[in-house]
Amino acid sequence: MKKKVNLDIKSLTKKFGVLEHKLLHYLPLVFALVFLIFYSFLVFRINDLSSTEPTDEQVTEKLQSSGRPKIDQSAINQIQQLQDNSVEVKTLFQDARNNPFHE
């Protein structure tokens, strides 16, 4: 017993018309769900990228590429000489060593 499939175009358009009406009814909900999923993915991805730490290899590479600052010995001698000669400068240096963030 084989069933015959009726492929009448008029009946198909009526069925698709009902289906289209139902889909249009739920379209705002589907759009809101897609938007919420996309927004959640973006927030998760931004959080993931902002919380990653550099690897040890990246840290050592940056440390090697940036040179250590060098201070001229004559400048050091001159600062020490000024510190020894002036009481105000001596207390200024002493205060700066004790609390470097105090103004």
pLDDT in tens, 33-92: 999 999 999 999 999 999 888 889 988 888 888 777 788 899 888 888 877 776 666 677
Give the separation between CA 76 and CA 72, rounded to whole angstroms.
7
Give the separation between CA 35 and CA 24, rounded to whole angstroms.
17
Domain boundary assignment for the chain: 11-51, 72-103
In angstroms, the Cα distances linking 78 to 20, 70, 84, 95, 100 are: 87, 16, 10, 19, 21
More confident residue, 22 or 61: 61
At 5, the pLDDT band (50, 70, 90 cuts) reads low
Q: What is the mean pLDDT of residues 8-15?
A: 74
Place of tokens 């973006």: 42
Report the first-to-last Cα separation within the chain, whole angstroms.
98
For the chain, helix (H) and strand (E) counts, in that order, are 4, 0
